[in-house]
Amino acid sequence: MEAVFTYRSRNAVETRAFAERLANLLQAGDVLALTGDLGAGKTTFTQGLATGLGIDDRVNSPTFTIIKEYQGRLPLYHMDVYRIGGSEDLGFEEYFAGDGVTVIEWPSMIKDQLPEELLWIEIESISPDEREFKLIPQGERYMHIYKEIRDEYSRD
Ligand code: ADP
Ligand code: MG
């Protein structure tokens, strides 16, 4: 059976707070794949993640830069691969295996280059301000994160 944790956010502030809590569970080498339409909240979620990683810089959509790096408690590698061809290799492996946390917007564009194990996060718009986040762990490491966040929220 597939493990899925669902979180319903009521606004952008809640989305950032949710991501900030998730950031506390992350370590070097973790990879998060964010799916969802334009405006779903992938970048908003990444902003919360950055705050949780102790990053002070403002995180925005990397429009012309495909990969942006930020320094915090752990480095954050923020990728938006929407505009690249599927076979274009920008040295992703080194980021995935690096000292930081990698977040990928539009991961399906590079599906052949994704690591086998990652935390898949699907974002769906429910209303103008409501979003549903589905966390789907792939692999043991992400199963662990999934259980931690699930247990944290069940205690609230
Ligand atoms: P994406 O990166 O998926 O294209 P963005 O994060 O750039 O999306 O934009 C999401 C937009 O939706 C922002 O303007 C944000 O303020 C708004 N928004 C409204 N409600 C939410 C919510 N619950 N979670 C995240 N963003 C929300
Ligand atoms: Mg974005």
Q: Please name the residue that has the structure tokens 């990969």.
A: 67
Average pLDDT over residues 89-104: 95
C-alpha–C-alpha distance, residues 141 and 145, integer Å: 7
pLDDT tens, position by position, 35-56:
999 999 999 999 999 999 999 9
pLDDT tens, position by position, 57-76:
999 986 678 999 999 999 99
> Around Cβ 14, how many Cβ atoms within 10 Å?
16
What is the rounded average pLDDT for all residues in the chain?
95
The torsion angles phi and psi of 141, rounded to 5 degrees, stand at -55, -45
Q: Is 129 in the pocket of ligand 1 (CB under 6 A)?
A: yes
Ligand 1, atom 23: closest residue by C-alpha: 11
C-alpha gyration radius of the chain:
14
Average pLDDT over residues 26-43: 98
Ligand 1, atom 11: closest residue by C-alpha: 39
pLDDT > 90? residue 90: no
Q: What is the DSSP string of the chain?
A: ----EEEEESSHHHHHHHHHHHHTT--TT-EEEEE--TTSSHHHHHHHHHHHTT--SPP---SS-SEEEE-SSS-EEEEE-TTS-TT---SHHHHHTSSSEEEEESGGGGGGGS-SSEEEEEEEESSSS-EEEEEEEESHHHHHHHHHHHHHHHH-
Atom of ligand 1 nearest to the CA of 46: 6
Tell if the pTM clears 0.75, that is, is over it.
Answer: yes
C-alpha–C-alpha distance, residues 72 and 36, integer Å: 26
Q: Is 43 in the pocket of ligand 1 (CB under 6 A)?
A: yes
Cβ(70)–Cβ(76) below 8 Å: yes
